[in-house]
A and B are shown apart, each in its own frame.
Chain A
């Protein structure tokens, strides 16, 4: 009974996860984890599309002083079937570029989610973009769970 229930559960959960991610894929902001070789997993290089992204194009002439804010949280690990509390473990303010190599090594054998947002002046006043998800700027995503860009530091 448990096996049947588990199999059905996994199947339906996968469908729902895929559907929820597919719903976001048409928006043009795609942060992604690069350079994830085993040697660099604890200090991955994260990159994202430079701001203003195309959807902010009409505001380009009013936007100045762009920098980025980056946050990384530990999160639960479906693969390891453990429930870790969401904990903010890394934050950087005022990043000038759209690539960042994590400076403090992250815990090994753990799962993380990460997000960035742009900080900028609009008509001379400080403003921010929504936080990024894996596929979009999305201020309605629940903090910070499914939909956020994810990576892990496991070797296998």
Chain B
């Protein structure tokens, strides 16, 4: 039940999020893009992994937090009446969670082992991205993508790789990959700059930990989606005028 509403909640919150994606390059800029080289940016600046709490002692606050916030997990802006009701119920969850938490918290060694295994996946998640963008570019606009003699450079690379969720006993964590995109002339003038994020479906930490290969598989699909999306944004997408 909790998993189900967690999915709904996470999806609803995500749908409400405002994207900060800038408009694609204007057509007069694109008309100057006759020879573009793809270049990789350095490895990610940020790798974030939210693991479950470790050991019974940490289970007390995490259990309290888990149960007390359970009513709020669906997200933002309840009405005043809803907020009042939720505020009354939260202390009950706090007490029940604090009692239940120590029994439910998992041993430190087990969590750390899983954490190491998943962190390895996160570290490798974005490798080879520039080559994928180049491949996608050659497919979508073959006459523009070059390896030398460029007039502009499309820099792409990871900004953040994350597997994050709330402070729960076994948090419901969602993978995401944020990529930096910067299009510059050879004289260094920036023509377009953005960060584009791909966000996966959430699962309990323990479920990802039991099959890290599925997390790696998610990142492979995300890289393909992001490569396509970046090529679309920079070279192809036309927004409705005024949008």
Instruction: Report A's interface with B, CB cutoff 8 A.
Output: 1-2, 4-6, 8-10, 12-13, 16-17, 19-20, 53, 55-56, 58-59, 76, 78, 81, 83, 85-86, 122-123, 125-130, 137, 139-143, 145-147
Binary A-proximity of B194-210 (CB < 8 A = 1, otherwise 0):
00011101010000000
B7 at the interface (CB under 8 A from A): yes
A9 to B3, CA, bound (A): 11
**Contact A5–B237 (Cβ < 8 Å):** no
**Contact B5–A6 (Cβ < 8 Å):** yes
What is the CB-to-nearest-CB distance from A70 to chain B, in angstroms, rounded to a whole number?
15
B1, B3, B15, B78: the one contacting A147 at CB < 8 Å is B15
- Pull 24 A–B residue pairs with CB atoms less than 8 Å apart, ordered by A: A1-B92, A1-B96, A2-B2, A6-B5, A8-B85, A12-B9, A12-B82, A13-B9, A16-B12, A17-B11, A17-B12, A55-B241, A58-B241, A76-B7, A83-B3, A85-B201, A125-B30, A128-B232, A128-B236, A142-B15, A142-B199, A143-B229, A145-B11, A146-B15
**Contact B7–A143 (Cβ < 8 Å):** no
A20 / chain B contacts, CB cutoff of 8 Å: 12, 15-16
Q: A129-B237, A146-B11 are in contact. Are A9 and B73 (CB under 8 A)?
A: yes
A137 / chain B contacts, CB cutoff of 8 Å: 239-240
Which parts of B23-38 form the interface with A (CB within 8 Å)? 27, 30-31
What is the CB-to-nearest-CB distance from A144 to chain B, in angstroms, rounded to a whole number?
9
B198, B199, B238, B242: the one contacting A127 at CB < 8 Å is B238
What is the CB-to-nearest-CB distance from A4 to chain B, in angstroms, rounded to a whole number?
7
**Contact A139–B21 (Cβ < 8 Å):** yes
Q: A55-B243, A128-B232, A146-B15 are in contact. Are A9 and B9 (CB under 8 A)?
A: yes
**Contact B7–A56 (Cβ < 8 Å):** no
B74 at the interface (CB under 8 A from A): yes
**Contact B27–A146 (Cβ < 8 Å):** no
A81 / chain B contacts, CB cutoff of 8 Å: 3-4
B58 / chain A contacts, CB cutoff of 8 Å: none
B225 at the interface (CB under 8 A from A): yes
Instruction: Report B's interface with A, CB cutoff 8 A.
Output: 1-5, 7-9, 11-16, 19, 21, 27, 30-31, 70-71, 73-76, 78, 82, 85-86, 89, 92-93, 96, 141, 197-199, 201, 203, 218, 225, 229, 232-233, 236-243
B14 / chain A contacts, CB cutoff of 8 Å: 142, 145-146
A9 to B203, CA, bound (A): 18
B2, B8, B92, B201: the one contacting A13 at CB < 8 Å is B8
Q: Which of A12, A86, A140 has the most CB of B within 10 A?
A: A12
Q: A128-B237, A129-B237 are in contact. Are A145 and B70 (CB under 8 A)?
A: no
A4, A143, A147: the one contacting B225 at CB < 8 Å is A143
A7 to B203, CA, bound (A): 21
**Contact B1–A59 (Cβ < 8 Å):** no
**Contact A126–B236 (Cβ < 8 Å):** yes
Q: A6-B5, A145-B11 are in contact. List 10 more A-B contacts (CB 8 A).
A: A4-B89, A5-B70, A9-B9, A12-B82, A16-B76, A128-B236, A128-B237, A139-B239, A143-B229, A146-B12
